Amino acid sequence: MTTFVESSISPLFGLWQPLPHLKHLYYGSSCVQKHLFATLPSHDSKVFIVTGNSIATKTPLLQQVETLLGDHHAGTFTKIRQHAPMADIDQATEIIAKNPLVDTILSLGGGSPIDSAKTISFRMHERNGKFLTHLTIPTTLSAAECTIGGGYTKADGVKTSVMTPEIGVTAVFYDPGYAKYTPLKLWLSTGMRAMDHAVESQYQPYASEMPWRAMSSWAVSTFFECLPIAKASHPSDEDVITRLLLAAFASLGFRDGETSCLTLGPVVQLKARAKQEDAKQIARLLPWIGGTSSGDDLKDALEVGCKISALVESLGLHQSLTERGIGRDQIPIVVERATGGLKEGSLYDIVTLLVEGLY
């Protein structure tokens, strides 16, 4: 059972609880080939792979994993689409349910296959009382492998999730030989998503100083250093790929349980202006990203927001909501969802101004 304790730096106190589901985190070139079999729950385990069409048809990755598994391979589902539609998850679940020998699910790809695998494990438990062992080979920086929540999209387009430690990933393989096939724009944009997680950790009231905030600070520093390098070197520099994968884990993997390119900089500044303690925590990031502390928390926190926005611009990731096809008539819907259902009030008005500034 997770215990939530607020953390503070003055006076210094807090709590960190190790993640109960994660047993192995391998990283580095060829780590899948070297260590995959060591993570199977038994010598006769049967593994079902879930992935997306692009990885299955445009890269050699799926064939590599299937060949490596050999007799352990029990089947593959390649139709997981973006945002993990429930129809895809249901289809994969039906296929797995026909083979009672399957005890392991392996997700290959980004957030959608990883979240789908978690949700499939949950659905299988509903059917037979057993969760599947979940192994993953992430190919983006979304950090979906770090949470115990399986997000999916219902038929009406609304995103929701299931959450329990038992569906969390048991083994993560950060192998640059797999991530190098990820298109550059997707690689960079998911890196900014992970940056979002890391920055949020600085002002999350239940974020412990050690290791949560300490690792998040390191993650922010690594993103600022390595994302610009990746823009020029991806996919040839495997060390940079591995460092970014580890930074993605550091951004979210030490939590007790769980559009960024467009909104992170402005949101950081909004948080800093709204609450003095948040400004103080955000300001602590400035030395990690090449800035010099002035002693003025608000000023330093606002500079952090500016530097994040500048990084987004330098990576070529900035787009207005207009460019993304979101009309101004959608502003009330965007704000309502962003504020947890509010339709009026001071917070609603502040977020409305922030969203209007994104056009």
Phi, psi of 205 (to 5 degrees): -65, -20
pLDDT value of residue 113: 97
pLDDT digits (tens, 9 = 90+) for 299-329: 999 999 999 999 999 999 866 667 667 778 8
pLDDT digits (tens, 9 = 90+) for 35-83: 999 999 999 999 999 999 999 999 999 999 999 999 999 999 999 999 8
24 has which bridge partners?
171
CB neighbours (10 Å) of residue 315?
A: 19
pLDDT digits (tens, 9 = 90+) for 167-184: 999 999 999 999 999 999
Q: Which residues of 75-92 are buried (b: 16+ CB within 10 A; e: fewer)?
A: bbbbebeeebbeebbeeb
Select the more confidently predicted residue: 108 or 8.
108
Quote the tokens at residue 251: 């951004």
Whole-angstrom Cα distance, residue 263 to residue 319? Answer: 10
Q: How confident is the model at residue 341 (pLDDT cuts 50, 70, 90)?
A: confident
Measuring CA to CA, which residue among 206, 213, 209, 215 is closest to residue 256?
206
Q: At residue 257, does pLDDT exceed 50?
A: no
pLDDT digits (tens, 9 = 90+) for 143-170: 999 999 998 898 888 888 898 999 999 9
**Domains, the chain:** 24-180 (3.40.50.1970), 184-314 (1.20.1090.10), 319-358 (no CATH)
Phi/psi zone of residue 307: left (φ > 0), alpha (ψ -120 to 50 degrees), beta?
alpha
pLDDT digits (tens, 9 = 90+) for 206-234: 889 999 999 999 999 999 999 999 999 99
Give me the count of residues in the chain.
359
**pTM for the model:** 0.88
Place of tokens 């999209």: 153
Measuring CA to CA, which residue among 88, 108, 118 is closest to residue 173?
108
Q: In the chain, which residue ranges form alpha helices assigned H by DSSP?
A: 31-35, 53-58, 61-69, 86-97, 111-128, 176-179, 184-203, 214-233, 238-252, 260-274, 276-283, 297-314, 331-338, 346-356
Packing angle between helix 214-233 and helix 238-252, nearest 10 degrees?
150
Q: At residue 247, does pLDDT exceed 50?
A: yes
Q: How confident is the model at residue 258 (pLDDT cuts 50, 70, 90)?
A: very low
pLDDT value of residue 323: 64
Lowest mean pLDDT among 125-129, 136-140, 196-200: 196-200
Lowest mean pLDDT among 23-37, 141-155, 187-201, 262-276: 262-276
136 has which bridge partners?
107, 172
Query: How far from the centroid of its chain's Cα atoms is residue 227's Cα?
Result: 16
Select the more confidently predicted residue: 130 or 18.
130
- Residues whose CB is less than 8 angstroms from the CB of residue 24 and which lie 6 or more positions away in sequence, other chains included: 35, 38, 39, 170, 171, 172
pLDDT digits (tens, 9 = 90+) for 272-300: 988 999 999 999 999 999 999 999 999 99
Average pLDDT over all residues of the chain:
91
